[in-house]
A and B are shown apart, each in its own frame.
Chain A
């Protein structure tokens, strides 16, 4: 691959080299919608990558698209929709969010149920290391095992190995029919939905369980509601709709409900995900309900992945109460913080056995530890 370096990328590389020489910490900023997600961070100079915008290569016949990191997901959606295609990735938050930040934070949404997380969509990327080297991992083809996988490495690394400047993603053809059904679930809703997903051969694009508070806010029903998104040809979607009917009385809701779900939370809210084996979905769900009973807010679950996400207001909240509630939520299961008040981050338990390896990776790519210092641990 010949490297065509954007002028802006060279500028970023110069900035990083200069900062390294001065030992000056940098905070990487795209659209700024997530930024440090509340991590306790040292004072840092902002390294603004938001000017790196635009789709650099899009050949619809290849179902592959390359874009500079600051390109918004909305712009990518608009460009691909024209050709009946999409990037099947729906991270929660505003559509003004950028593709670079989505990849850097490893963010995904309900569609991950069928299509996976950013690591499953990314084919290539360009980033600038903490030494100011411009690195291009992966490529522009859908299958590629050449060299060590730098692409997976920077996905979800929160910019700590270097700001991402360009990405290449795999696209998919939009389904012929895309229909969303809402169905209210009573007792053991997560268990019911998980079991249905396990046993039905009609795999949906997404199946998200909503707490009563969220279902009410989205006006999709009373009580706990499953939102099930079906995609495929008409015959498939009809059969799948019938199958959803076995869960209870289902009614169709506009597809825009997914955008409303993504934007339901305020940028100030606390957001954490707990996860376990999918067969434990119900116990996770009950814990999440206990949390929001204390904190307010709402929960939603991607049952196929065994992931429950809790969103709670923090304005005027009692931090000690939040801390206690979070610890109870996380007891014995995996917890990943998305966004929290700074003083809550240290409370999150972490059972990673790879801290030492990770620290060495970080030092290898950012020897002076100037990039997003404080994010992903010290």
Chain B
């Protein structure tokens, strides 16, 4: 380790390397409680050239590593278990903004909301907006194929990245995708986005910018049952009106938010509220607003109101985006879960989730992207209470199974990381997992880049066959 440390220090400087236990403690966790893994060493390159040099030393020495942005992930994906942690948050240059073609080239450590702030003067923004957008980085967004409330209308990270320069685990630098026009051949860009750091490290990303909408209307609809709210969601989707965002919060979430500093004026006696945003050109927008209000009322909404001004709108959104923070007030730990179900199955699955929560005596708060069926059942608990922690684990497992049984998926935007490994072979067949392993092996044959994530290792035949590789990666 000291030889490796010296080689890395020669690149980044002594003060950009951490090896002491106390110093490394900051990097033991990401946004998901329940997992703590300590890196063997953390290295923080400050430029692209330093990053390339670091990855090449890691390649040269056969060292496994985990790339990390802001560490806001919610699946344990950025945890380094006694391997090298490669922190990329210092690579935060916005390299260029092309206003004419509505695109920008950025380094991986650029914070999501900063890109939007910097492009606002051109009437543009970066559309994917995960709830962690004030902290999370574009590199992390690419690794996770991040979404957010507004991806219902505008699409996820995959739809907004035009090209990536990446360094593969063997130290080769390649461009995936094409910033200037179409390219024949395999969609390696598409394969890389969402590969959770297992295929390589992003050096720069060419991203699409989206025109700011001329007008925005944010509606708050409150319902006396979750079912009624879900019916309103279905009616809006079926009408062809493409809402910019269509979010649901249940009674537990509303109460947590309203009791916190993020109080948004949500009705505390509602069983569910919908936060609906319509945006676009002014022409025709009011017609859509009127129809959406009608759909909500027909589904049984007690009240529907339109945000009166930008401040009111920001307040309504703050309650939604900070809901996880608000829940953090109530209990020492919070599992923010992530699953997707077909939209017609929302009422049934929500009922099942509630039944599971009651059965295992856990407190579930649902706050989620109803428009695309992306659930976030969250459970606040005390991880230091073994009995409660065990009940939470069982409840979560049953909830995931319920989503799989409904024809859904185990993650819509948080990724597999460590947390969802256990469900992968419930969702995918053995040949499918093998095919994923084969794809990974193209980019990272030694499985050194984010080892042990995404695919349960017993699914990989090559893994089973190569004990030396296995030993190197898990150390």
Q: How many residues belonging to A are interface residues under a CB distance threshold of 8 Å?
A: 81
A63 engages B180 (CB within 8 Å): no
Q: How far is the CA of A60 from the CA of B428 in the complex (A)?
A: 25
Stretch at the interface among A48-56, A134-142, A263-271, A293-301: A134-142
Contact B340 A334 (CB under 8 A): no
Q: Kindly specify which of B39-47, B264-272, B369-377 makes contact with the partner chain.
A: B369-377
**Are A307 and B429 CB-contacts (below 8 A) given A135-B435, A143-B369?**
no
In the complex, chain B residues 80-122 whose Cβ is within 8 Å of any chain A Cβ:
98, 100-102
Tell me the minimal C-beta distance from A23 to chain B in angstroms.
20
B174 vs chain A, min Cβ distance (A)? 6
A62 contacts which chain B residues (CB < 8 A)?
Answer: 342-344, 373
- Tell me which of B16-24, B276-284, B306-314 binds A: B276-284
Q: Are A149 and B343 in touch, CB under 8 angstroms?
A: no
Q: Indicate which residue in B184, B283, B410 contacts A337 across the interface (CB closer than 8 Å).
A: B184
A155 touches B187 (CB 8 A): yes
B439 pairs with A361, CB closer than 8 A: yes
The A142-195 residues at the B interface (CB cut-off 8 A) are 142-150, 152-153, 155-157, 161, 172-176
Q: Which B residues touch A176, using CB under 8 A?
A: 240
Contacts of A235 in B (CB 8 A): 283-284, 286-287
- Binary A-proximity of B144-166 (CB < 8 A = 1, otherwise 0): 11010001000110110000000
B180 touching A143 by the CB < 8 A rule?
no
Q: A239, A240, A276, A357: which has the most chain B beta carbons within 10 Å?
A: A357
- CA A116 – CA B344 in complex, angstroms? 25
Q: In the assembled complex, which residues on chain A have CB atoms less than 8 Å from the CB atom of B144?
A: 145
**What separation, in Å, do the CA atoms of A138 and B240 have in the docked complex?**
25
**Which of A141, A155, A234, A235 has the most B CB atoms < 10 Å from its CB?**
A141
Q: Which residues of chain A have C-beta atoms less than 8 A from B181's C-beta? A: 274-277, 306-307, 333-334
Partner of B435, one of A1, A202, A365: A365
A334 and B414 in contact (CB under 8 A), knowing A120-B155, A136-B432, A153-B439? no
Distance A119 CA – B188 CA, assembled complex (angstroms): 12
Contact of B438 among A201, A240, A278, A364 (CB under 8 A): A364
Q: Is A328 an interface residue (CB 8 A)?
A: no
Cβ of A146 and Cβ of B342 under 8 Å apart?
no
| Distance between Cα atoms of A155 and B185 in the complex (Å) | 10
B295 interface residue per 8 A CB criterion = no
Residues of B within 8 A of A240 (CB): 283
Contact pattern, B 176-193, Cβ under 8 Å of A = 1, otherwise 0: 101111111111111101
- Asked, given contacts A143-B372, A240-B283, whether A358 binds B155 with beta carbons under 8 Å apart, the answer is no
Shortest Cβ distance from A118 into chain B, in angstroms? 10
Q: Cβ of A360 < 8 Å from any Cβ of B?
A: yes
Chain B residue with Cβ nearest A143? B412
Given the complex, which residues of B lie within 8 Å of A129, measured CB to CB?
431, 435
Write out the residue numbers on chain B whose beta carbons fall within 8 Å of the beta carbon of A358. Answer: 185-186, 188
When A147-B416, A147-B436, A150-B436 are in contact, do A350 and B184 touch as well, CB less than 8 Å? Answer: yes
Cα–Cα distance between A52 and B158 once the two chains are bound (Å)? 30
Given contacts A133-B434, A153-B187, A277-B180, contact A354 B174 (CB under 8 A): yes
Query: A62: nearest residue on chain B (CB-CB)?
Result: B342
Q: Nearest chain A CB to B188's CB is how many angstroms away?
A: 6
B234 contacts the other chain (Cβ, under 8 Å)? Answer: yes
- Answer whether residue B222 sits at the interface, using C-beta atoms and an 8 A cutoff: no
A239 lies within 8 A of B414 (CB) = no
In the assembled complex, the Cα of A376 lies from the Cα of B186 at a distance in Å of 9
Q: Tell me whether A64 and B101 are in contact (CB under 8 A).
A: no
Write out the residue numbers on chain A whose beta carbons fall within 8 Å of the beta carbon of B194.
145, 148-149
Count how many chain B residues have C-beta atoms less than 8 Å from C-beta atoms of the other chain. 90
Task: Identify the closest chain A residue to B415 (Cβ).
Answer: A145
Tell me whether A150 and B435 are in contact (CB under 8 A). Answer: yes
Whether A353 pairs with B184 at a CB distance below 8 angstroms is: no
Contact A239 B374 (CB under 8 A): no
Asked whether, in the complex, the Cβ of B424 is within 8 Å of the Cβ of A277, the reply is no
Task: Verify A140–B407 contact, CB threshold 8 A.
Answer: yes
Q: Which of B198, B283, B412 contacts A236 (CB 8 A)?
A: B283
Chain B residues near A64 (CB, 8 Å)? 342
Per-residue contact bits, chain B 58-96, to A (CB 8 Å; 1 contact, 0 not): 000000000000000000000000000000000000000
Give the residues from 431 to 471 in chain B that come closer than 8 angstroms, CB to CB, to chain A.
431-436, 438-443, 454-455
Docked pose: A201 CA to B282 CA in angstroms: 9
Q: Which of A106, A143, A152 interacts with B373 by CB under 8 Å?
A: A143
Q: Is A223 an interface residue (CB 8 A)?
A: no
Contact B151 A153, beta carbon cutoff 8 Å: no
Contact yes or no, A153 B283, CB < 8 A: no
Provide the residues of chain B in CB contact with A61, threshold 8 Å: 234, 237-238, 343-344
A134 contacts B431, C-beta separation under 8 Å: yes
Task: Say whether B204 faces chain A, with CB atoms less than 8 Å apart.
Answer: no
| A136 near B429: Cβ-Cβ < 8 Å | yes
Q: Is B214 an interface residue (CB 8 A)?
A: yes
Do residues A336 and B184 form an inter-chain contact, with CB atoms below 8 A? Answer: yes
A174: contacting residue among B101, B187, B240, B413, CB under 8 A? B240
> How distant is the Cα of A145 from the Cα of B419 in the complex, in angstroms?
14
A144 shortest CB reach to chain B, Å: 4
Answer yes or no: B288 CB below 8 A from chain A CBs: yes
Residue A352 CB within 8 A of the other chain: yes
Within 8 A of B (CB), among A337-373: 337, 350, 352-355, 357-358, 360-362, 364-365
Which residues of A approach B to under 8 Å, CB–CB? 1, 3, 59-64, 84, 106, 116, 119-120, 129, 133-137, 139-150, 152-153, 155-157, 161, 172-176, 198, 201-202, 232-240, 273-279, 306-307, 333-334, 336-337, 350, 352-355, 357-358, 360-362, 364-365, 376-377
13 extra interchain contacts, Cβ-Cβ under 8 A, other than A235-B287, A358-B186, A364-B442? Answer: A59-B342, A62-B343, A116-B159, A129-B435, A141-B372, A141-B412, A142-B343, A142-B372, A152-B187, A155-B187, A202-B281, A307-B181, A334-B183
Give chain B's interface residues, CB within 8 Å of chain A.
Answer: 98, 100-102, 144-145, 147, 151, 155-156, 158-159, 168, 174-176, 178-191, 193-195, 198, 211, 213-214, 234, 237-242, 280-281, 283-284, 286-288, 340-344, 369, 372-374, 404, 407-416, 420, 424, 427-429, 431-436, 438-443, 454-455
Closest 5 CB pairs of A and B: A152-B190, A173-B240, A236-B284, A275-B181, A239-B283
